[in-house]
């Protein structure tokens, strides 16, 4: 006769464990699945936002451009001036378009301008901006990276709300504004950005997720490159006569500008294969994704021209090194870092690795007295890299969502990193 075995009091039967685990897993996963299904549906259904943004090429004291997008091709006008009640200056588009960019030139330095974009249907968007000062007067700007919305837990929206309440001279977005570069993702990015676009200009840095993407994996279909439609500024004119560089189809995106006591550079985003750390070599693909010769020549000329500036800040998406998943970027360490040391660059800002980090890169052989401070600000909205592995150069790192402000005077440049609740995570000051 079969007899059932008694169970020990206070002890669950092993037979119930799989079922209980399944229930517990469902309790944890179901809310997350519901949240992300609603979130993803929300960002995928965003229409073209009725918004405009301000940015510039190389002279924000005297010239900016206003960018905007319309759902259909229309002919637009931009009216602007220093009195919001009397916008006495006008620029008319020559042809109809959906992606729009209008240059406003002959501006006066350190002056607030007001503008409005008009379509045949009326006022489409409006806002204001301040041109860069002609002196080394104090200012504050902010750095954010990796707002990628697909898997973002809402940080990008929160940070946008914070930026909208600040009097920043500009926001530098250090790459990876989107995940796959689809149109709905860009619509979402600009919808979130519209919370501060009317008062805070945008300085774009291209990330690897922002470049042209072959979304259907069909070589016969041209890649979609929305980034260039939204942000037309670039200094690169390099064309590979042999057509070898398949990783730089849309040219390299870079430019520079002065604001107060700081010279800012926007550089391209060389990447490196993860297996290079193991074999110690650099593949042909890596160098195709590195700096082109004209980019390097421009980089040195630009830094040489800015030697009299108290501070120099270079912004590029992939960090030279970090405590994150990607670790050290061998191509950038070989090609870029010596130039940054040679011209005594004050600090670099990157994203790519989804965490915040500050560290120091020192060239002990040639420039021991000119350490280079680097920042990784990849906590702008995408999922965080929580498995951080500090490198010898790391001073502080955290996966908490954050944003980093730079407050500049003629003699000091102070970087303060805040959590989304306003707490100070880190502060660091450099003196001229």
Q: What does the pLDDT average to over 25-37?
A: 55
Given a cut of 70, whether residue 178 has pLDDT beyond it is yes
pTM: 0.86
Query: Residue 41 CB: number of other CB atoms within 10 A?
Result: 9
Q: At residue 226, does pLDDT exceed 70?
A: yes
Q: Which residues contact 211 (CB under 8 A, 6 or more apart)?
A: 181, 225, 227, 250
Portion of the chain with pLDDT greater than 70, in percent: 76
DSSP H helix total and E strand total for the chain: 9, 20
Check residue 28 and give its pLDDT. Answer: 55
Rg, Å, the chain Cα set: 24
Q: Long-range contacts for 219-223 (Cβ within 8 Å, ≥24 apart)? A: 223/249, 223/250
Q: Using CA atoms, how far apart are residues 165 and 408, in angstroms rounded to an integer?
A: 19
pLDDT of 2 strictly over 50: no
b/e sequence 197-231, b meaning 16+ C-beta within 10 Å? bbbbbbbbbbbbbbbbbeeeeeeeeeebebbbbbb
pLDDT tens for residues 34-85? 545 555 566 667 889 999 999 999 999 999 999 999 999 999 999 999 999 9
Question: Is residue 22 scored above 70 in pLDDT?
Answer: no
pLDDT recorded at residue 415: 98
Q: Which residue has the tokens 């270079």?
A: 314
Q: Where are the beta strands (DSSP E) in 337-411?
A: 347-350, 356-363, 367-377, 394-398, 402-408
The 97-104 sheet, strands edge to edge: 52-55, 64-74, 97-104
DSSP 8-state code for residue 290: S
For the chain, what is the mean pLDDT? 84
Cα angle: 322, vertex 323, 325; to 5 degrees: 95
Nearest CA to 61 out of 213, 201, 227 is that of: 201
93 pLDDT above the threshold of 90: yes
Domains and CATH numbers, the chain: 62-130 (2.60.40.10), 139-431 (3.60.21.10)
Local confidence band at 290 (pLDDT 50, 70, 90 cut-offs): confident
Joined tokens for residue 267: 């550089």
- Chain centroid to Cα 94, Å, comes to 31
């Amino acid at each position: 006769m079969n007899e059932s075995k008694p169970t020990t009091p206070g002890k669950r039967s092993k037979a119930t464990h799989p079922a209980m685990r399944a229930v517990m897993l469902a309790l944890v996963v179901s809310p997350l699945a519901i949240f992300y299904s609603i979130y993803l549906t929300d960002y995928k259904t965003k229409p073209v936002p009725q918004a405009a943004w301000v940015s510039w090429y190389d002279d924000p004291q005297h010239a900016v451009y206003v960018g905007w997008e319309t759902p259909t091709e229309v002919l637009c006008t931009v009216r602007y001036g220093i009195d919001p009640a009397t916008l006495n200056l006008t620029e008319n588009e020559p042809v109809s378009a959906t992606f729009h960019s209008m240059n406003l030139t002959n501006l006066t330095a350190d002056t607030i301008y007001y503008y409005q974009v008009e379509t045949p249907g009326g006022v489409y968007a409006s806002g204001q901006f301040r041109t860069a000062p002609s002196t080394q007067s104090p200012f504050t700007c902010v750095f954010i990276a990796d707002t990628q919305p697909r898997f973002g837990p809402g940080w990008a929206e929160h940070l946008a709300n914070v930026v909208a309440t600040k009097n920043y001279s500009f926001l530098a977005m250090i790459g990876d504004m989107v995940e796959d570069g689809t149109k709905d993702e860009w619509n979402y990015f600009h919808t979130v950005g519209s919370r501060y676009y009317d008062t805070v200009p945008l300085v774009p840095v291209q990330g690897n997720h922002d470049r042209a993407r072959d979304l259907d994996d069909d070589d016969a279909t041209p890649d979609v490159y929305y980034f260039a439609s939204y942000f037309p500024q670039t200094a690169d004119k390099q064309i590979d006569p042999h057509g070898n560089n398949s990783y730089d189809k849309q040219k390299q995106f870079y430019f520079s500008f002065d604001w107060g006591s700081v010279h800012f550079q926007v550089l391209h985003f060389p990447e490196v294969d993860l297996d290079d750390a193991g074999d110690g070599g650099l593949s042909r693909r890596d160098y195709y994704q590195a700096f082109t010769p004209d980019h390097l020549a421009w980089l040195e000329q630009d830094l040489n021209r800015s030697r009299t500036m108290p501070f120099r800040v270079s912004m590029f998406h992939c960090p030279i090194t970090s405590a994150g998943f990607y670790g050290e970027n061998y191509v950038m360490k070989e090609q870029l870092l010596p130039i940054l040391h040679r011209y005594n660059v004050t600090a670099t800002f990157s994203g790519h690795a989804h965490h915040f980090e500050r560290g120091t890169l020192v060239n002990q052989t040639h420039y021991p007295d000119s350490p280079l401070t680097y920042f990784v600000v990849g906590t702008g909205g995408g999922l965080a890299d929580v498995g951080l592995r500090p490198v010898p150069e790391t001073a502080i790192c955290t996966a908490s969502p954050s944003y980093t402000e730079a407050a500049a005077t003629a003699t000091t440049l102070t970087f303060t990193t805040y959590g989304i609740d306003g707490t100070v995570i880190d502060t660091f000051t450099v003196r001229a």
